[in-house]
Chains A and B, each alone.
Chain A
Amino acid sequence: MVQLLNYLKESPSQTAGPYVHIGCTPNFVGIHGVYETDLGSGSMVNDKTRGERITIRGFVYDGAGNPLKDALVEIWQADADGFYNSPSETRGTADPNFFGWARCPGDMATGEFVFETIKPGRVPFKDGRLMAPHISFWIVARGINIGLNTRMYFSDEEQANAEDPILSRIEHRVRVPTLVGQREGDTVTFDIHLQGEKETVFFDV
């Protein structure tokens, strides 16, 4: 016999279900009077936020090519200088006018999600190399048993993307573009494909 390790097991995930909005974005589905606003809703920037304003737009598609109309998308990102607004950020202090997290339910008619944010700065990988600017995405919905993690990179950062330590880990190079949001002006389009030919790369983080 050896001594027991006595670690607890993580609570197993379950789907968020079709009514995730009731708990996470009640005002979005017309349940008013309990929360003043939905957590993580609205623009992520104010007048004092540093950085380049961008709008991210996209859809989450299923394996038949249909957009999900009941997904909930959350994003987490660094500020314009590459600092996270988190107690675990030890390299410096993040922009106090940028929280870095937001959530958006897909539009109930079309499925589109939209985030008003800033382009993040570069964050170092553990060996000191800089990662390319990216935004972490987390997607839950009916039919998704455990939240899916992915990243959005930017099409106007070709050089940084080419040297990104995470993107370079992807063995099947044809899949790399599934992680690159297409920038036109201030809008970045980022569609997520859960399954099939255009399947987005998802990470076990």
Chain B
Amino acid sequence: MKNTLPETTPFFARDRAWHPPAFTPGYKTSVLRSPQRALISLEGTKSEITGPVFGHNIIGEFDNDLLINYAQPGESAIGERIMVYGRVLDERGRGVPGALVEFWQANAGGRYRHKKETYLAPLDPNFGGFGRTITDEEGGYFFRTVKPGPYPWPNGVNDWRPAHIHFSVFGHGFSQRLITQMYFEGDPMIWICPIVKTVPDQEAIKSLIAALDMNATIPHDLRAYKFDIILRGRRSTLFENRLEGN
């Protein structure tokens, strides 16, 4: 049975020991960009429970196909062809339909298409490196792309990011807003990365690693990686006080 009532209850409190803390000196830029005072806790009001919900009309036909959405006609991006798919769920395990998922990444050589990027690996003229989609009724999403390459960055003298795809997700409430990164199963770079290591709990890190899924892989075409994204859950409406504005 599907519950189609609008959800109006507050979200579960965020487990801030599971997320990375603000101050993580191994990731140097965080040193001057982390608040030093405690956050002020605020149980969700109408301002946090509500949030923008986007219509399918914003999504173009090829927005979820990075192999071709920037390519010349008949061309496609160079690299390992993959599909990334999964579901957006809440902490109660329910699919989040209508969630906007945006993603961006470097090309197969680890080069980003960005004005401020100077890495010597070349751009791929047929690869832009970004896309977006909206989840279906069960919270499912998918996109096609090439597997991004690892990428050196000025942190330690020899720091390299593992292959990763950035994700930005909108649920239904503004306080569900989440940006994170997806990593690839078996990548030895994951465990030495200062940005990965901002996450204190190893189980939490594992939840950002997408598994190779041979069952979803399309023979002679592309391999599949499965990545589920979990957003904050809402309290059940059972016995919820329906005060004005709650």
A residues within 8 Å of B by Cβ?
6-24, 26, 29-31, 33-36, 39, 62-64, 68, 70, 74, 76, 78, 84-91, 99-101, 108, 123-128, 131, 134, 136, 138, 140-149, 151, 166, 169-170, 175, 194-196, 199-205
- Least CB distance from B226 to A in Å reads 14
Q: Which of B180, B233, B243, B244 makes the CB contact (< 8 A) with A14?
A: B180
Tell me, in angstroms, the Cα distance from A44 to B180 when the chains sit together: 27
A134 (CB) vs chain B CBs: closest residue: B47
B126 CB–A CB distance under 8 Å: no
Q: Are the C-beta atoms of A23 and B130 separated by less than 8 Å?
A: yes
Are A138 and B33 in contact, CB atoms less than 8 angstroms apart?
no
22 contacts between A and B (CB under 8 A): A9-B91, A10-B230, A14-B20, A22-B112, A34-B130, A36-B60, A63-B36, A84-B46, A84-B47, A88-B51, A88-B172, A101-B174, A123-B47, A126-B45, A144-B22, A149-B48, A175-B37, A194-B34, A204-B13, A204-B40, A204-B42, A205-B44
CB-CB under 8 A from A151, the residues of chain B are: 47
B46 touches A124 (CB 8 A): yes
**Size band of the interface chain B makes with A:** 35 or more
Report which of B32, B168, B204 forms a contact with A143, defined as CB distance below 8 A.
Answer: B32
Q: Which residues of B contact A (CB under 8 A)?
A: 6-8, 12-16, 18-22, 24, 27, 29-37, 39-54, 58, 60, 63, 69-70, 89-93, 102-104, 112-117, 128-132, 166, 168, 172-175, 177-181, 195-196, 198-199, 201, 203-205, 207-208, 229-233, 243-246
Closest to A36 in B: B60
> How far apart sit A152 and B158, CA to CA, in the bound complex (Å)?
41
A84 x B50 contact (CB < 8 A): yes
Find out whether the CB atom of B52 lies under 8 angstroms from the CB atom of A6. Answer: no
Report how far A128 CA is from B90 CA in the complex, Å. Answer: 28
Shortest distance between the CB of A35 and any CB in chain B (Å) = 7
For the complex, give the distance between the alpha carbons of A131 and B13 in Å.
21
Tally inter-chain residue pairs, CB-CB below 8 A.
285
* A199 touches which of B37, B54, B69 (Cβ 8 Å): B37
* Cross-chain contact B46 with A145 (CB below 8 angstroms): no
**Contact: A142 with B115, CB < 8 Å?**
no
* B40→A6 contact, CB < 8 A: no
Q: Are B112 and A19 in contact (CB under 8 A)?
A: yes
Q: Which residues of B contact A201 (CB under 8 A)?
A: 37, 40
A12 touches B102 (CB 8 A): no
Contact residues in B for A21 (Cβ distance below 8 Å): 114
Cross-chain contact A26 with B130 (CB below 8 angstroms)? yes
Question: 7 smallest A-B Cβ distances: which pairs?
Answer: A23-B104, A143-B29, A124-B245, A143-B33, A86-B50, A101-B52, A145-B20
Q: How far is the CA of A195 from the CA of B29 in the complex (A)?
A: 13
- Chain A residues near B230 (CB-CB < 8 A): 8-11
Interface centre among A99, A169, A203 (most CB of B within 10 A): A203
* Contact present for A24 and B168 (CB under 8 Å): yes
Does A76 contact B51, Cβ atoms closer than 8 Å? yes
Q: By the criterion CB–CB under 8 Å, are A24 and B18 in contact?
A: no
- Complex Cα–Cα for A13 and B14 (A): 11
B32 and A63 contact, CB distance less than 8 A = yes
B residues near A18, Cβ cutoff 8 Å: 114, 116
Contacts of B52 in A (CB 8 A): 76, 85-86, 99-101
Chain B nearest CB from A148 CB (Å) reads 7
The one of B47, B113, B205 in contact with A78, judged by C-beta atoms closer than 8 angstroms, is B47
Instruction: Verify B244–A124 contact, CB threshold 8 A.
Output: yes
Cβ contacts under 8 Å, B168 to chain A: 16, 20, 23-24
Q: Are B115 and A26 in contact (CB under 8 A)?
A: no
A6 and B93 contacting across the interface, CB-CB below 8 Å: yes
How far in angstroms is the closest Cβ of chain A from B156? 15
Question: Would you call B33 and A203 a contact (CB within 8 A)?
Answer: no
Contacts A39-B58, A63-B32, A126-B243 given; indicate if A88 touches B173 (C-beta within 8 A). Answer: yes
Across the interface, name the chain B residue whose C-beta is closest to A26: B130
A163 to B111, CA, bound (A): 52
Contact indicator B207/A145 (Cβ below 8 Å):
no
* Alpha-carbon separation in the docked complex, A90 to B29 (Å): 42
